[in-house]
Structure 1
């Protein structure tokens, strides 16, 4: 048999395994959020080298059917979170309206020198002292979003004393009588860095979606910004524009 023939047969087997796993996922043999059998077990079941099984799973991951977590394995992807920038960033309310169960955990809160991209977004001198809140947000128990929120400490004094797991938009409104005017979004494909990778259970360098949001006061002045790192397989940006 020629090498071309061997390659064709191998590709055919790969497609067959992909079709079978895809069928099981879509047929609910594997429920949303359920862990798939290990690559080793699938290798034994299908009589294929583990590297070939891994290739099949990577292809299904690219389709959004499954996802992986570092040192934990492969899982069936639940429905993506619908992210609408026009909702003004209210994560908790948006998730609940979609019938999901959101949760927010505060990682830390401290005063830091503004990173270069934050200083650029807020048009501040590099190294300006800013308050930073880092949080991880989950949907149905799965971490999907790592957020860094930056603001001038003088704008929201003693903010660190409040419960920072709630919506900051509502906290600003209720405790400081502060109301946002407009928001500007930049949505950029990126590779996840270490801080985000750790809490999102991803390998460093995995694909992610970076949403940079700049918040403006009603008088037009820039007030604060967010750097949101989303698992790329967990979110769908959706905007509806009326005529």
Structure 2
């Protein structure tokens, strides 16, 4: 029997592929978020049929270790960041709770006049100064989020010069400016990665992304910042606790 006509139900071959793939994933031969070799090449490497390989990959997918992307092949699953239900936590806090290393690379930081809609939402005068910070956030060096934050400059004194590499913005705000964020009005919608997001997140153009937009307020319920975050679709989950009115 040749490799090509081996029956799909060959249990030992599937178990072999499953075991060998598990070892390779444990050793991080392929980085989280990266594409696996093509099925033909991978089946040949493991010495099994493509049908057996697909069964093993399907089992790993059910365990959340790999996932299929239509027309693009198989990918190693990226560690997922999720927002705890009804709890405001920073990207850094969420990552560390999962035993992951949060990273942050500053793309730009500049002071500029607020746009009209920004000034309305932040309750400041039109064209008042804001500080815009753009960063790529990652987990264990894998980029998973591209965020642009707009802060009221007068409420974020000191952030213009602080090194924000691999640092939590919430924690830095409290340490440097004495501002503690306590509430966030958050919305999220699905989208497709444009050229910029694809380049920064290391994904193909058109890949699924989740866009989160929020306005965050301090301990006095005063708006402090606006943030727009673009997450890889395979690396982020938003959770919420919903309540039905007793009436």
Q: Same fold (TM over 0.5)?
A: yes
Alignment match, 2:3: none
Matched, 1:228 2:226: no
Moved more, 223-232 or 37-46: 37-46
1:24-79 deviation digits (Å, cap 9, x = unpaired): 4996154165432146735988999xxxxxxxx9xx99x9754699xxx8531144
* Structure 1 residues 77 and 194, CA gap change in structure 2 (3 angstroms): same
Is there any run of 5+ residues in structure 2 with no aligned partner, and where? 1-7, 31-35, 51-56
Contact 2:155–2:177 (CA under 8 A) maintained in structure 1: no
1:85-119 deviation digits (Å, cap 9, x = unpaired): 64423222221111112211111111346578756
Alignment match, 1:204: 205
Alignment match, 2:168: 167
Contact 1:132–1:148 (CA under 8 A) maintained in structure 2: yes
Contact 1:185–1:212 (CA under 8 A) maintained in structure 2: yes
* Structural RMSD (CA): 4.4
Structure 1 position 160, deviation (Å): 1.6
Is there any run of 5+ residues in structure 1 with no aligned partner, and where? 1-12, 49-56
Relative to the length of structure 2, the TM-score reads 0.67
* Structure 1 residues 236 and 177, CA gap change in structure 2 (3 angstroms): same
Matched, 1:191 2:192: yes
Alignment match, 1:101: 101
Contact 1:64–1:233 (CA under 8 A) maintained in structure 2: no
Alignment match, 2:154: 154
Cα distance in 2 for partners of 1:124, 1:168 equals 21
Contact 1:132–1:150 (CA under 8 A) maintained in structure 2: yes
Q: How many residues align?
A: 218
1:160 alignment partner, SS class: coil
1:102-146 deviation digits (Å, cap 9, x = unpaired): 211111111346578756754778876532111111112211111
* Structure 1 residues 67 and 235, CA gap change in structure 2 (3 angstroms): same
Relative to the length of structure 1, the TM-score reads 0.68
Alignment match, 2:25: 31
Contact 2:79–2:139 (CA under 8 A) maintained in structure 1: no
Contact 1:114–1:129 (CA under 8 A) maintained in structure 2: yes
Structure 1 position 235, deviation (Å): 1.6
Moved more, 123-132 or 163-172: 123-132
Cα distance in 1 for partners of 2:232, 2:102 equals 15
